[in-house]
C-alpha cells in the first residue's frame, strides 16, 4: 500500500480526466457524424439536381494520403509517447478514456 500512496492523486485525476474526455469525444463525435452525414446528403441532392458537380476522384486523391499506414502509425506513436510520459496518470487516463467512450 505504501507504494501506491504517492500515486493515488495522479490515478484519481487521470481516471476522472480520461472519463470526461472519452465521454466528450463520444458525444461530440456523434454530432459530428450526424453533421457530416447531412452535409453529404445535401451535396448529393444538389449534385443530382445539377446545381453542383463533385469531383469524387479528386477528393479521394486528396484524402487518401491522410489514411496511409505510415501517417496513422506516426499519430499513434505520438499519442503513446504523450500518454506514457507520466505513466501512473497516463494509465489511469487511458482506462478512464475507454470507460468514458463506452458510457458516452
Binned average pLDDT, 10 residues per bin, the chain of 104 residues: 65 82 87 93 92 91 83 81 71 80 78
pLDDT given at position 6:
64
pLDDT given at position 1:
53
State if pTM tops 0.85.
Answer: no
Give, as one character, the DSSP assignment of residue 98.
H
Alpha-carbon distance of 60 to 48, in angstroms, equals: 19
Amino acid at each position: 500500500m505504501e507504494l501506491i500512496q504517492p500515486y493515488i492523486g495522479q490515478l484519481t485525476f487521470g481516471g476522472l480526466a480520461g472519463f470526461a474526455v472519452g465521454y466528450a469525444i463520444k458525444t461530440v463525435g456523434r454530432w459530428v457524424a450526424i453533421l457530416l452525414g447531412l452535409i453529404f446528403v445535401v451535396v448529393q441532392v444538389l449534385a443530382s439536381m445539377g446545381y453542383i458537380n463533385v469531383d469524387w476522384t479528386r477528393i479521394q486523391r486528396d484524402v487518401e494520403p491522410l489514411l496511409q499506414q505510415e501517417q496513422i502509425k506516426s499519430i499513434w506513436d505520438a499519442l503513446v509517447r504523450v500518454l506514457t510520459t507520466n505513466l501512473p496518470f497516463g494509465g489511469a487516463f487511458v482506462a478512464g478514456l475507454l470507460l468514458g467512450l463506452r458510457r458516452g
